[in-house]
Every structure is written in structure tokens, then in C-alpha cells.
């Protein structure tokens, strides 16, 4: 009888402990963060549970974040700006830096389009408020053009891929890993990249509720992500293999992407805030947002990456 009571007590204690364990719900885009953290081995001793939720693009991730379905996730500066302008209760807690070669306007291999000038009057697919949209707007400004000089078609990545493949649009302004998938698997060409045109910054963002209620978990997650990203800079092959396995995509695709991306995590500092302000101002000039935002007010500088 005593043994039964002891077993019951231990079981009850275990259940209480399990119920007390914190859970951090993390949004990911195409296995981006999960793959690098698993490959780097930084998820082995996490003192809380991570629930990964996969998204095809930043827009649905940000919608889920605003609705409370997830608590943190990785997005580009452009969709973050679009969401905050729409009063989403979120803030950036860490910056993501990388080269801009993987943010590009693509055309099929046999397209007569050779450069940005050839895009005048052409139909370009991208996501509304996305970094692809940001690239188009920045490219238009660089030429002194307006949106009336091209035909923008707003589509989610899956629909944009279909339209692009069928020839319903002339070009696709998109991001990684879609760019590398098209280059490696279908010989698409980049006629323009974001190098020198956009700030080249993304953010780990979190809901205001999570920042208030799960700060220790968020802080720990950001540090582990930063460690994993630092590892990936010298272990590109291993990261590419882990990502390819997770997403069931040939490793040549992530290798093409990651070898040139050089992704790293950085703190929210003056440079990150200045770059975010550039994106805000671009969207304001283009009429995509109506109210000028203060970049310093939509970030949280208190999170450490080391």
C-alpha cells in the first residue's frame, strides 16, 4: 500500500512539474531558425519547451503573432514595419544581418529581361508589404520611376510561384530560400538584388505579452539563436544539410543560399534603429503606410545576444 501511495505521489509530482514547464511558441519561415539551432546542437538542454510553427512567409507569421498564436518569430524589416503600422502589439528584440544577394527580382532563364530597365511596364509578382515589395519600391526610386511604371501583382509565395512558372507574370521579387530554389532547380536569373538598395536587416520579434510574461525564455532563445548563427558561419555545409533534410529539399539549394547569406544575429543598437527608420521612411514615401513611425519606439533594446 505504501509503495502504491509513493508511486502515486511521484506521478502527481511529475505531472505538476510537466504542467509548470514554460512553453515558448516560435514561428519559423521555411525551417530557418529551427534547422540552424538543431544543426548547431543548441537545443539539447533547453529548460523550457519550444513549440515550432512553420510559415511560408512573414505576413502570416506576423498575423499569428498579433493574434497570440505564437510568441516570437523571425521576419524582415519590411513586413515588420507594415505590421507595426497596422498597430500590431509587437516589438523587435534582436536584429538579423545578412548580405542582400538573396533578396532579388527573378526572371525565367529564357526571359528577354536582362536588367532593371527592361522591367519597365512588366508584371512583377511579390507579397504586399514584404521585403520583395520593399525591393521593388527601392528599385523604382533608384530609377526615378513610380509604381505606375510597372505592374505589381500581390501574391503569397505559393501563388507567386505558380504565376511565375506559368508565365502569368514577367518577374518575381522574392527572398530566400525561394531565390535559390529557382536558381538551382530551374535556372532562373537574378536581374536585380537588394545590395545597395535596402538596409539588409531583419528582426527577431516578439509580442508585447511575451516580452512581459516570458522574458527569461525569450532572452535564452535569442542567445541560443545567436550562438547557432555564429556556428553556421563556419559550418555552412552541415547547416545546409540539416535544413535540406528538415524541408525535404536538395542540399544544393540551401548551400547556394547560405554560402552567400552570412546570416548573423546582432543586438538592437543605434545602427539597427537607423536602418529600420530607412524602411519606415521608404514605406511612408511610397504611401504603403500613412503615419510616420519612430523606429526607436518599436524595438526593445534590453535583450542581450551573448
All structural domains of the chain with their residue ranges: 2-98+200-297, 104-193
The runs of H, that is alpha helices, within 115-251 are 131-143, 157-166, 178-186, 208-213, 215-232, 236-247
- Residue 142 phi, psi (nearest 5): -65, -25
Q: pLDDT tens across 34-87, in order?
A: 999 999 999 999 999 999 999 999 999 999 999 999 999 999 999 999 999 999
Domains 2-98+200-297 and 104-193 share a fold: yes
What is the residue-averaged pLDDT of the chain? 93
Q: pLDDT tens across 138-177, in order?
A: 999 999 999 999 999 999 999 999 999 999 999 999 999 9
Cell of 131: 521585403
- Residue 112 phi, psi (nearest 5): -75, -10
Confidence bin at 201 (pLDDT 50/70/90): very high
Q: Which fold has domain 104-193?
A: D-Maltodextrin-Binding Protein; domain 2 (3.40.190)
Residue 27 has pLDDT above 70, yes or no: yes
DSSP code at position 108: -
Tell me the whole-structure pTM to 2 decimals: 0.89
CATH pick for 2-98+200-297 out of 3.40.250.10, 3.50.50.60, 3.30.360.10, 3.40.190.10: 3.40.190.10
Q: State which H helix or E strand residue 256 sits in.
A: helix 252-261
Q: State which H helix or E strand residue 68 sits in.
A: none
- The pLDDT of residue 250 is 94
Task: Sort 301 into a burial class: Cβ within 10 Å, 0-12 / 13-18 / 19+.
Answer: middle
Evaluate whether 164 touches 135 at the Cβ level (below 8 Å).
Answer: no
Taking the C-alpha atoms of residue 292 and residue 85, their distance in angstroms, rounded to an integer, is 8
Residue 14 has pLDDT above 50, yes or no: no
Amino acid at each position: 500500500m505504501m509503495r502504491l501511495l509513493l508511486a502515486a505521489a511521484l506521478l502527481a509530482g511529475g505531472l505538476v512539474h510537466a504542467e509548470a514547464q514554460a512553453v515558448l511558441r516560435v514561428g519559423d519561415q521555411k525551417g530557418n531558425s529551427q534547422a540552424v539551432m538543431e544543426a548547431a546542437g543548441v537545443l539539447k538542454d533547453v529548460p523550457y519547451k519550444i513549440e515550432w510553427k512553420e510559415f511560408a512567409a512573414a505576413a502570416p507569421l506576423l498575423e499569428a503573432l498579433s493574434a497570440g498564436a505564437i510568441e516570437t518569430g523571425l521576419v524582415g524589416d519590411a513586413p515588420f514595419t507594415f505590421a507595426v503600422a497596422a498597430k500590431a502589439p509587437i516589438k523587435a528584440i534582436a536584429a538579423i544581418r545578412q548580405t542582400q544577394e538573396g533578396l532579388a527580382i527573378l526572371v525565367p532563364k529564357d526571359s528577354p529581361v536582362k536588367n532593371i530597365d527592361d522591367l519597365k511596364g512588366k508584371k512583377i509578382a511579390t507579397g504586399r508589404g514584404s521585403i520583395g515589395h520593399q525591393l521593388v519600391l527601392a528599385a523604382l526610386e533608384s530609377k526615378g520611376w513610380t509604381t505606375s511604371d510597372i505592374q505589381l501583382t500581390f501574391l503569397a509565395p505559393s501563388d507567386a510561384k505558380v504565376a511565375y512558372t506559368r508565365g502569368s507574370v514577367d518577374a518575381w521579387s522574392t527572398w530566400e530560400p525561394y531565390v535559390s530554389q529557382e536558381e538551382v532547380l530551374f535556372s532562373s536569373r537574378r536581374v536585380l538584388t537588394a545590395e545597395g538598395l535596402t538596409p539588409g536587416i531583419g528582426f527577431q520579434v516578439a509580442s508585447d505579452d511575451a516580452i512581459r510574461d516570458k522574458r527569461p525564455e525569450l532572452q535564452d532563445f535569442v542567445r541560443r539563436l545567436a550562438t547557432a548563427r555564429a556556428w553556421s558561419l563556419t559550418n555552412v555545409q552541415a547547416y545546409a544539410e540539416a535544413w535540406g533534410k528538415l524541408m525535404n529539399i536538395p542540399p544544393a539549394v540551401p548551400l547556394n543560399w547560405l554560402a552567400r547569406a552570412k546570416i548573423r544575429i546582432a543586438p538592437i543598437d543605434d545602427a539597427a534603429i537607423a536602418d529600420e527608420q530607412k524602411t519606415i521612411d521608404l514605406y511612408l514615401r511610397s504611401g504603403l503606410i500613412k503615419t510616420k513611425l519612430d523606429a526607436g519606439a518599436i524595438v526593445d533594446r534590453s535583450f542581450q545576444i551573448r
